[in-house]
Amino acid sequence: MSEQSSTAGRGRRRLSRRRAITLAGVGVAGVAGVAAGAGALTRDGDRAAAYDGAAGAVPFHGEHQAGITTPAQDRLHFVAFDVITKDRDRLVAMLQEWTAAAARMTGGKDAGVIGAVGGMPEAPPDDTGEALGLPPSQLTLTVGFGATLFRDAQGRDRFGIAGRRPAALADLPHFAGDALRPEISGGDLCVQACANDPQVAVHAIRNLARIGMGVVSVRWSQLGFGRTSSTSRDQATPRNLFGFKDGTANLKAEDAGLLREQLWAQPEDGADWMTGGSYLVTRKIRMQIETWDRSSLAEQEQIVGRTKGSGAPLGRRDEFDEPDFAAKGDDGQPVIAVDSHVRLAHPTQNDGARLLRRGYNYVDGSDGLGRLDAGLFFMAYQRDPRRQFVPIQTRLARNDAMNEYLRHVSSGLFACPPGVRDAADWWGRTLFG
């Protein structure tokens, strides 16, 4: 506190900058045993290797982009950009610069080669600094390309890539009940930042947005917490804001055969540049929290089709027991109601179509009417939305008993290219290169 009062007499402009520096220093000094202040030391790649578990680093390079089958981290910052330049070279240069920054940041380093401190005093730092002293926190950065990057709303081939738009990147249809807000839907590019520390995720998006100034403009973004899906068998199934376990029947990293069949785009799918990539559908689904909370436990369980406690399908004992959709109760009615969520969404009811869900809870404060502005930021990766998300959602939108408590307010569809192979490779090379 003395730091702040000692600067209080200074001019307003100065104060804010000073305070930021001072607080950053204090934060770092708080990490006992770590030599204070030196960002270049604490956000260091060599040191990053020393962190493991939730604080560790996820490899950035590989056949597939990280952040898809990576065990779902705890926090999300998702952003969709509009590309505002007409210059293909500038776009490509930015993607290359983004890739370099992403490789650095996921390794626990500053966004730029100089870093947040230690550069010229007269120059703005090439990293914004709020992640100084924080470990990599399993940060992953995953990029995707929206349909409007290939052809804009007027049908123009913006960057000479219209012919490379994959068939699987077909616009999603209107689903019954959609209340989509265009200003928080779509986008030419997206970046998904997931980390176990929200500050690390926000830092990554902020620095990418800054690098992109003049080339891209943030269209919308979403913060999320409390992963609502497990993408690995090692992870316990988490709960969504309805209080139910979510993602029990998710595609998981260990299902190698299923991943090939259901998650990764294959050479025979028609768009070579997407081989090893995946298609991401995002849906911001507002939950009518207050009315849900007033519904009885029995109604809630009927709607979901699972018990609230263990997550077991109704009529079964354990979470991972297969639901018995044929079972009937004493009243002759199906134990798992015909309009229950689990029945409508289950692979066995959708010709085996599955998704790798990676959603997060969100709370955007309250809505001015005393209600939480909250829900699920649904994200699902898949090989072909036309065979997976679209038919599943079509059934859900028509019949799901849960719809009474849901409103889809934002939608996005992105083609996420294959992984960045090595330091010479870059996001989008297979598309633009």
Partner 1 sequence: MRTTRFLVLAAVGALAVTGVTACGGKDDQPDAGAGNTVKVKATDSVCEVDVTELDAGQATFTVTNSGSKVNEFYVYAAGDRVMGEVENIAPGLSRELRVELPAGTYETACKPGMSGRGIRGALKVSGTAATVAPDAALTEATASYQRYVTSQTAALLTKTEEFVTAVKAGDVAKAKALYPVARTYWERIEPVAESFGDLDPKIDGREEVIEEGMEFTGFHRIEKDLWTTGDISKDGPIADRLLVDVKEIVTRANAEKLTPLQLANGAKALLDEVASGKITGEEERYSHTDLWDFNANLEGSKAAVAALRPALEQRAPELVAQLDKEFANVEAALGKHRDGDGWKLHTQLSKADLKELSDSINALAEPVSKVAAAVAR
For partner 1, the binding residues (CB under 8 A) are 2-3, 6, 11, 18, 21-22, 25, 28-29, 35-41, 84, 93-94, 97, 112-114, 117-124, 126, 210-211, 213-215, 217
Least spacing, CB of residue 198 vs partner 1, in Å: 24
Least spacing, CB of residue 289 vs partner 1, in Å: 29
Using the minimum distance from each CB to partner 1, give the nearer residue, 74 or 110: 110
Least spacing, CB of residue 122 vs partner 1, in Å: 4
Give the integer Cα–Cα distance in Å for 115 and 40: 7
Least spacing, CB of residue 376 vs partner 1, in Å: 27
Least spacing, CB of residue 329 vs partner 1, in Å: 53
Give the integer Cα–Cα distance in Å for 112 and 100: 8
Using the minimum distance from each CB to partner 1, give the nearer residue, 122 or 330: 122
CA–centroid distance for 226 within its chain: 12
Sequence-separated (6 or more) residues with CB below 8 Å from residue 404? 288, 291
Q: Which of 388, 404, 77, 72 is nearest to 242 (CA)?
A: 404
State whether residue 405 is helix, strand or coil: helix
State whether residue 49 is helix, strand or coil: coil
Question: What angle do the packed helices 198-211 and 88-106 form, to 10 degrees?
Answer: 150
DSSP 347: G
User: What token pair was written down for 78?
Assistant: 């998702």
In degrees, rounded to 5, the angle at the alpha carbon of residue 149 between the alpha carbons of residues 144 and 154 is: 150
- Helical segments of 174-238, H only: 198-211
Using the minimum distance from each CB to partner 1, give the nearer residue, 217 or 310: 217
Using the minimum distance from each CB to partner 1, give the nearer residue, 378 or 432: 432
Using the minimum distance from each CB to partner 1, give the nearer residue, 18 or 61: 18
Strand segments (E) across 255-349: 278-287
Cβ proximity of 334 and 325 under 8 Å: yes
Least spacing, CB of residue 93 vs partner 1, in Å: 8
Using the minimum distance from each CB to partner 1, give the nearer residue, 41 or 54: 41
> Cβ-count burial of 375 within 10 angstroms (0-12 exposed, 13-18 middle, 19+ buried)?
buried
Least spacing, CB of residue 38 vs partner 1, in Å: 4
Cβ proximity of 81 and 193 under 8 Å: no
Using the minimum distance from each CB to partner 1, give the nearer residue, 34 or 312: 34
Using the minimum distance from each CB to partner 1, give the nearer residue, 36 or 54: 36
Give the integer Cα–Cα distance in Å for 279 and 268: 15
Least spacing, CB of residue 142 vs partner 1, in Å: 22
- What are the two backbone dihedrals, phi and then psi, of residue 391, each rounded to the nearest 5 degrees? -65, -35
